[in-house]
Chains A and B, each alone.
Chain A
Amino acid sequence: MAKKSPDEVHPVKAFGWAASDPSGHLSPFSFSRRATGEEDVRFKVLYCGICHSDLHCIKNEWGFSTYPLLPGHEIAGEVTEVGSKVTKVKPGDKVGVGCLVGACHSCENCTADLENHCPQVIQTYNSIDVDGTMTYGGYSDHMVARERYIVRFPENMPLDAGAPLLCAGITVYSPMKYYGLSEPGMHIAVVGLGGLGHVAVKFAKAFGARVTVVSTSPKKEEEALKRLGADSFLVSTNMDQLKKEQFTLDGIIDTVSAVHPLLPLLGLLKANGKLILVGAPEKPLELPAFSVIMGRKTVAGSNIGGMKETQEMIDFAAKHNITADIEIIKADYLNTAMERLAKGDVRYRFVIDIANSVADIYRETTQRK
């Protein structure tokens, strides 16, 4: 039997932008999505955030990409159709999908609402779905996802600035709760002021923390203090500054995805302090054992969150008026956006205006006829 082309695998035609090789160059891509199953929600994609993971994946930097690769896991839109067993949402509702679209639903982790730790977790893109087909993400005109993986957007949350919370937001919210760093009055640092970092500052302030931003760029100080509301700012390469602040922090959220030294950060922690890694450098970091032994400190990891917590995070964000700071682009700017993202040249998340980009393509195609 001949292998089916991506636009023949499923019955419903779909359109998006995908990379076909590790150059990471994104171009228009026709594919298909499954029909709306009993537990499925189908929605028109209005916006999709560009996460740094998308960049890592299209270039196969983590070594597990399969092409064609259609990224996007900060997806927001409007419901067009629901399956017969769906009760959570109805057509017209504003919804989102983040990094996950499936799991086993029976293991310990799934039962504890930690689908993200299920050994059989299915990711929104570059993953094999239960029917054996490749999952394609949100840089596309519409999505179909199981009800369990649909997040409801509260009325007062704008879809464009809310979309990035579906990955960036949960990535920093979850560890702050899990590692006990969300109590009022705590002193928390956020390392790296990018897509993850700027959202972390907002959540930490909403939890009632005193927030210090640690960055390699002195230029970010004004933004950090005036625009994002951080309480103080440290330049991570300024050893004198860091030494003065030793033993002052309850916790650190480290969003940096490049290799960087941990020793100066560990020095900032009080005894029993926690350094939480949420960025994913591809090479190992150096861990000086003494710096965790003295002071009983911990270095911990965290990776998004389960669906229940993701909804909780969105509701919390809506209540506290937290959204991402975004730059809206159209799909024809995608490759340029990726180049700028690689250089950290964005304040602080690109969001693709999918609906209008799709409309542009449609207009071009019909004009050509």
Chain B
Amino acid sequence: MVANQPEKEHPVPAFGLAARDPSGVLSPFNFSRRATGEKDVKFKVMYCGICHSDLHMVKNEWGTSTYPLVPGHEIVGEVTEVGSQVEKFKVGDRVGVGCMVGSCRSCDNCSNGVENYCPKMILTYAGTYHDGTITYGGYSDVMVCDEHFVVRVPDALPLDAAAPLLCAGITLYSPLRYYGLDKPGIHVGVVGLGGLGHVGVKFAKAMGAKVTVISTSPAKKQEAIERHGADSFLVSRDQEQMQAAMGTLDGIIDTVSAVHPIMPLIGLLKTHGKLVLVGAPEKPLELPVFPLLMGRKIVGGSCIGGMKETQEMLDFAAKHNITADIEVISADYVNTAMERLEKGDVKYRFVIDVAKTLQQG
């Protein structure tokens, strides 16, 4: 059921930035949020991170977009109202919402704390909520969300630099844990040094790993090592370097969202090594089978994480002083930011200062 009148669909007026068509250009958008239900948490949005998925979605690159589309799933703010059955939060709390706002809450996946793998999982934006309305994301002034899908942002983390952890952070944290790449002394590769990659390096180091960044850009080497703490750097197009590093990595987290050859990455893995894909190219990758068989290696995927793990990730980040490296922008800069993001021209996440700059008129 598509809303014909987004402004009147719900009782609470809201204001945000929406794309109207696959050009992806964002413009002011008046819409509405539901009244705060018994289990809902309402919060004033302070900041929202710009994830590369937002760019894919505003341009309908995955073919699943509906317009108008309000992106944003790295949302942080301050609670303004809680429903009568809410137990975990109160007014004034610092909270966040990531990529999901609902799920079936009864399947095996939901019962096991991996709501992200529920076949009926509801995305924070461009999804269809239980009441049939389209979900709108965090490039907006206010959010209303079921308590189950809200996380607490620890006091030790600044809100703006913590926002990107809600997607980028959990996207890297979850597979490091699940695929057993979180043991001290393990040698992990991170492919791609962007929004996902730079956070991945920080988490892997905090877990005790030796980290090698693998990138197409030699120019990123200094940053990788001096700023993010990586132990070494490989230029993926340099055959000699890649050859010399063959069979050295226990695991690789591949954050690259364009089609790229994975055979050289599989070659970097030790026997029993794991290549984990978290970037999502739209076209299939070429999977050479022999190298998987000969080394009993795996290629796996991972998609964000469940709510319990997302909270655990934030608490871990607070303990180890991990935040994203961000460039805070005003709401009126968002289209330029999208253009720069497309070229990879950001160190390493744009974050919209929603509270101060997203205003009507």
Interface set of A (CB-CB < 8 Å, partner B): 109, 114, 117, 178, 247, 262-263, 270-272, 277-281, 284-303
Bound CA span A279–B295, Å? 14
B94 contact set on A, CB distance < 8 A: none
B293 near A292 with CB under 8 A, answer: no
Q: List 14 A-B contacts (CB under 8 A).
A: A117-B271, A117-B272, A117-B296, A272-B117, A280-B290, A285-B286, A289-B277, A289-B279, A289-B301, A293-B278, A296-B114, A300-B292, A301-B296, A303-B296
B36 lies within 8 A of chain A by Cβ: no
B302 lies within 8 A of chain A by Cβ: yes
B289 near A284 with CB under 8 A, answer: yes
Chain A residue nearest to B179 (CB atoms) is A298
Bound CA span A281–B271, Å? 20
Chain B residue nearest to A108 (CB atoms) is B271
Bound CA span A279–B293, Å? 9
B205 contact set on A, CB distance < 8 A: none
A292 contact set on B, CB distance < 8 A: 277, 299-301
B3 contact set on A, CB distance < 8 A: none
Given contacts A299-B300, A300-B297, contact A286 B292 (CB under 8 A): no
B284 contact set on A, CB distance < 8 A: 263, 286-289
Partner of A281, one of B108, B289, B298: B289
Given contacts A286-B287, A289-B285, contact A298 B293 (CB under 8 A): no
B289 near A294 with CB under 8 A, answer: no
A289 contact set on B, CB distance < 8 A: 277, 279-281, 284-285, 301
A109 contact set on B, CB distance < 8 A: 271
**CB within 8 Å of A: which of B287-319?**
287-303
Dominant SS among interface residues on chain B = mixed
Bound CA span A242–B104, Å? 24
A287 near B296 with CB under 8 A, answer: no
A278 near B303 with CB under 8 A, answer: no
Bound CA span A300–B280, Å? 19
Bound CA span A271–B119, Å? 9
B294 near A301 with CB under 8 A, answer: yes
CB distance from A353 to the nearest CB of B (A): 31
Interface centre among B175, B277, B292, B301 (most CB of A within 10 A): B301
Partner of B296, one of A178, A271, A272, A297: A178
B290 contact set on A, CB distance < 8 A: 280
Chain B residue nearest to A285 (CB atoms) is B287
B109 lies within 8 A of chain A by Cβ: yes
Chain B residue nearest to A174 (CB atoms) is B296
A298 contact set on B, CB distance < 8 A: 298-301
A301 contact set on B, CB distance < 8 A: 289, 291-298
A247 contact set on B, CB distance < 8 A: 119
Partner of B287, one of A284, A290, A295: A284
Given contacts A117-B296, A301-B297, contact A295 B117 (CB under 8 A): yes
B302 contact set on A, CB distance < 8 A: 293, 296
B289 contact set on A, CB distance < 8 A: 277, 279-281, 284-285, 301
A293 near B297 with CB under 8 A, answer: no
Chain A residue nearest to B262 (CB atoms) is A287
Bound CA span A285–B302, Å? 20
Chain B residue nearest to A262 (CB atoms) is B287
A293 contact set on B, CB distance < 8 A: 277-278, 280, 301-303
B333 lies within 8 A of chain A by Cβ: no
A302 near B301 with CB under 8 A, answer: no
Bound CA span A293–B150, Å? 23
Chain B residue nearest to A304 (CB atoms) is B293
B175 contact set on A, CB distance < 8 A: 296
Chain B residue nearest to A263 (CB atoms) is B284
Bound CA span A247–B281, Å? 23
B301 near A295 with CB under 8 A, answer: yes
Bound CA span A282–B122, Å? 41
CB distance from B318 to the nearest CB of A (A): 25
Bound CA span A284–B292, Å? 11
Bound CA span A247–B291, Å? 28
